[in-house]
Amino acid sequence: MKCALVTGASRGIGRAIALQLSKDLGLHILINYTANKAAAEETLNMIQAQGGSGELLHFDVRINQDVKLAIDKWSEANPDSNIEVLVNNAGITRDNLFPWVTEDDWDAVINTSVKGMYNCTQAVIQKMLRKRSGRIINIASLSGLKGVPGQTNYSAAKGAMIASTKALSQEIAKRNITVNAIAPGFIESDMTSDLDMNELKKMVPANRFGKAEEVAHLASFLASDKAAYITGEVININGGIYA
Ligand SMILES: NC(=O)c1ccc[n+]([C@@H]2O[C@H](COP(=O)([O-])OP(=O)(O)OC[C@H]3O[C@@H](n4cnc5c(N)ncnc54)[C@H](OP(=O)(O)O)[C@@H]3O)[C@@H](O)[C@H]2O)c1
């Protein structure tokens, strides 16, 4: 069975990507989450309701051993299945002006996005290399290109994801594995629910926040055969904001 692993697929952009990959590409979706099992189950119900299949795969992307153990165990139980698409989507914010960013807040944000990307990619890449095919999609951010005040930790994390995307893409392009990053601007989700949308949308030429589904369509295209010659790219999806 052809599968996609979407980290942080219990909510928001990850859930939308999980649904879209199932719908467009018929992939069996491994729905990763860390805390919110009920929301992850809801994602699974939604996938099944549109005729697709999937299963929950619990691990904290920050913890290398947990990720490896969960994926190895899944692989052993499913010898005929193959993770063809990895979407490194799990991410958090801990915003503050730099002097008040605690070590905890720095580490939590970097470890979720950057270490998480390392842990999950390490766990699937050997098989992709052997099979000579695969898609890796890293969900970065406008913050990683532009740098956003109050988000030094998050900007650093997303900037690192972008640089790593470019480096890894060049290492493995010969094996028909593409590695791309998506850099969303303001997207409606739990992550942005505390922001003053009416004020911030004035910064967006399109005059609105984006929808998780709009990001999901881009991820689905990058995961498809149609995008085989696109690699090492960072694709903005932000309603017209220049980085
Ligand atoms: N929303 C935006 O405007 C925006 C803009 C640019 C980039 N992004 C990026 O897009 C991605 C998704 O954001 P979102 O807006 O959909 O966020 P969200 O609604 O807050 O959802 C975050 C998801 O990540 C999961 N997660 C968090 N820490 C995790 C960990 N340690 N291990 C595994 N899963 C973890 C959460 O799982 P639980 O449900 O179990 O907690 C949840 O599914 C993030 O990387 C974010 O940085 C978002």
Spatial separation of the C-alpha atoms in residues 14 and 6, rounded to whole Å: 6
Q: Are strands 54-58 and 82-88 parallel, antiparallel or unpaired?
A: unpaired
Ligand 1 binding pocket, CB closer than 6 Å: 7-8, 10-14, 32-36, 39, 60-62, 89-92, 112, 139, 141, 184, 186-187, 189-192
pLDDT of residue 242: 86
pLDDT of residue 52: 98
Instruction: Quote the ligand 1 centre to 5 CA distance (angstroms).
Output: 14
Spatial separation of the C-alpha atoms in residues 189 and 193, rounded to whole Å: 6
Provide the b/e sequence for 156-194 (b: ≥16 CB within 10 Å). Answer: bbbbbbbebbeebbeebeeeebbbbbbbbbbbbbebbee
pLDDT of residue 31: 99
pLDDT of residue 98: 98
pTM score > 0.85 for this model?
yes
Instruction: Quote the ligand 1 centre to 65 CA distance (angstroms).
Output: 21
pLDDT of residue 60: 98
**Which residue is closest in CA terms to ligand 1's atom 41?**
35
Q: Quick one: average pLDDT of 121-148?
A: 98
Quick one: CA torsion of 145, 149, 154, 156, rounded to 10 degrees?
60
Q: Is the pLDDT of residue 243 over 90?
A: no
Residue % of the chain over a pLDDT of 90 = 99
User: Do the beta carbons of residue 197 and residue 225 sit within 8 Å?
Assistant: no
pLDDT of residue 9: 98
Spatial separation of the C-alpha atoms in residues 203 and 206, rounded to whole Å: 9
pLDDT of residue 24: 98
**Which residue is closest in CA terms to ligand 1's atom 13?**
13
Q: Is the pLDDT of residue 184 over 80?
A: yes
CB burial class (10 A; 0-12, 13-18, 19+) of residue 94? middle
pLDDT of residue 150: 98
For 240, the token pair is: 């017209």
Residue % of the chain over a pLDDT of 70 = 100
Instruction: Quote the ligand 1 centre to 225 CA distance (angstroms).
Output: 26
Q: Quick one: average pLDDT of 139-162?
A: 98
pLDDT tens-digit series, residues 212-238: 999 999 999 999 999 999 999 999 999
Strand partners, 136: 86, 179
Ligand 1 atom with the shortest distance to the CA of 90:
24
Ligand 1 atom with the shortest distance to the CA of 62:
31
Q: Is the pLDDT of residue 200 over 80?
A: yes
Ligand 1 atom with the shortest distance to the CA of 33:
40
Domains within the chain, CATH numbers bracketed: 2-235 (3.40.50.720)
Catalytic residues: 154
Across all residues in the chain, what is the average pLDDT? 98
User: Do the beta carbons of residue 8 and residue 32 sit within 8 Å?
Assistant: yes
pLDDT of residue 164: 99
